[in-house]
Structure formats: C-alpha cells, structure tokens
Amino acid sequence: MKAVVIRKHGGPDVLSYEEIDDPQPVKGHAIVRVDYCAVNHLDIWVRNGLPDKQVSFPHVLGCDISGTLVEGFGRFKKGDKVIVYPAIQSGIPRVSFSIIGGFGRYHGGYAELVRVPQKNIVKKPDWFSSIEACALNVSYLTAWNMLKRSGCKKGNTILIWGANSGVGSAAILLAKAMGLRIITVVSDQNKAGLARKLGAHLVIDRSRSDVIVETLKYTNDHGVDAVIDHVGAKTWPISIEILKTGGKMIACGTTTGAEANVNIRAFYSKEASIIGAYLGTKSQLIALHKFMKSKKVKPIIDSTFELRDIKLAHKKMEGSSQFGKIILKVSS
C-alpha cells in the first residue's frame, strides 16, 4: 500500500511517501481503507519528536481517520463507512491514553490501510460526508470536551484563542451553536474577516491590539466566563488575567511551549479554575455528532491535499496559513 512513513524525527523532509506492506489481520482489530485523514498539530509534534515521548520507527502518522471497513465484524459490515475514535488505553501510569498515529504503537491514517482495535470503530454519521467526518475526531472532539468542561451556558462570554486553528475554529462553531458570546484572537486581518463570518462577536487582531485591553473593554472590566486555551506558554498569563471572578480556563495545548510564567496571585484571588482537557470520550464523540446534526453545523475545511503532497500540508500548518482543517485525500 501507499503510505507516508517517518524513520526519524525532523522537519517535513522526514515524511516519505512510499510503498509499504499492508497491515495483516489481528484478533480484535479491524482494517480500514482510509478515505480521508485530517492533519492535526499532533502530527507535527510526533514528526518533530518531544523529549519525553517515544515512538518506534518506521512510524505512520495520522490520528483523524474516516474510511471503509475491509471486513465486517459484529454489527459492522464489509464496506461500511466508518470513522476511527483515536484514543487507545495508554498503559502508562497517570496518562489516560495514547492516540492512534500519535506517540504510541499504533500506526495512523497517512496510509491506504490502517489496523485499529474494533472498539475504536464508529459508524460514520449520514449527516457528514467522509471528508467532513474525518475532521471531527480530534479538534472538534477536544473543542466539544473543552466547552462542556467550561460549564458555559447560553449568554456566557468565552474567549477562544487562534480562530484559524483546528481547535479554535471548531470551538467557535460549537460555541456559536450553544448560544455563547464569543471573543476570538487572530494574527492578521484576513483571518479576522473569516473569524467574523464564522460567528465571533469580537475579533481581536493580536498584531494590532492588546488582547487584555480589548477583552476588558468588551466585558466592561468584568472579564470572561471562560477561555479556551490551546496555545500554551505565550497565552496562559493573558488567559488568567482576562478571566472574571470564578472564571474557568480550559487548556489542551502547548503550541508556544509547555512551561508558562503565570501570575498565581491573579489566579487565586479571583477564585479561578484551570482545567485540562485531553481529547474526549467515545460517547462524547457520538454526542458531538448528534449535536452538530441537530444544529446543522458542518466542520470548516480549509483545504484538501493528496497524500503524496503531505510535505505541503505540513508546511501549511506550520506556517499557520490555514483557516479550519487541512485534509489528506488518501484512497477515496
């Protein structure tokens, strides 16, 4: 089969499009012909490598998969359109799970065929096309989990960092459907226009304006009910500063670094909470499908690349020039 393989960590040049052996059947597992696989920032982390994480080479990236079942099992039939819930029990103390195609032993969806545990197979909801369905398993599920953990109700105000990102654009769409007031942050005017179209009530261009000043002005100095922070070291101090009394910061990512310098006094004196979010459960994924269908919400797709053009897709994500999900067309 055709696949993109990495044999060492590094820049986009370590991504090798080549022919490798098909995965063979293993008890309790299903083989899926991958139709589409969304690109996530996790793919960049795994490609680059992280000091405290291991992967055995050769490795196939790609955690966000929609495809076609090669053989049936249980209530699933051969040829069924499915998606793959990406979490696998980690076996590591105090770590909830590892992710298919991520740092772990399962190969991912940058390949025509992928072998995954049968319990990770979910029927593709009819409301979504295969290309849309592959975008939901990571960014959308995490955004959904974060919004649930924020406890926000209709009318509450939330700040969502990085409107153009997978997680940020998903959170804006879902928060809008939940009836929240949305402040979001971008780094240029083009992204600002797209963020407004998506439904943000206030868009702050961080290249021109101060996020704290603009947020406090908009909220009459009260601050926001919650912040969705996937950016990490650079944004944590700001996220804490702009929370209202009793506000919640929900964190899932470290794009700008994993060690932040924060004002602890500002945090506790307003009785704020910092809550971590790691993907979401399979039942949350199914609840997300139902919610999006009931609200007639479809994921935002930025662009589609052929699998062989994987380096271009990674460069686009690293340049942050996307708005929404970058998708790989694998074997459809």
Given the rule CB under 6 A, which residues bind ligand NAP?
Answer: 40-42, 45, 138-139, 142, 161-162, 164-168, 185-187, 230-231, 234-235, 252-256, 277-279, 317, 320
User: Hey, what are 332's tokens?
Assistant: 């459809």
Pair 5, 55: CB distance under 8 Å: no
Q: Which is nearer to ligand NAP, 142 or 219 (CB)?
A: 142
Q: Which is nearer to ligand NAP, 16 or 320 (CB)?
A: 320
Smallest separation, CB 246 to ligand NAP (Å) = 24
Biggest distance spanned by C-alpha atoms of the chain: 61
Q: Which is nearer to ligand NAP, 142 or 156 (CB)?
A: 142
Beta bridge partners of 81: 68
Distance CA 153, CA 47 (A): 38
Smallest separation, CB 124 to ligand NAP (Å) = 20
Q: Which is nearer to ligand NAP, 69 or 143 (CB)?
A: 143
Smallest separation, CB 177 to ligand NAP (Å) = 18
Smallest separation, CB 126 to ligand NAP (Å) = 25
Q: How many CB atoms lie within 10 A of CB 154?
A: 8
Q: Which is nearer to ligand NAP, 41 or 107 (CB)?
A: 41
Smallest separation, CB 81 to ligand NAP (Å) = 24
Q: Which is nearer to ligand NAP, 144 or 267 (CB)?
A: 144
Smallest separation, CB 45 to ligand NAP (Å) = 6
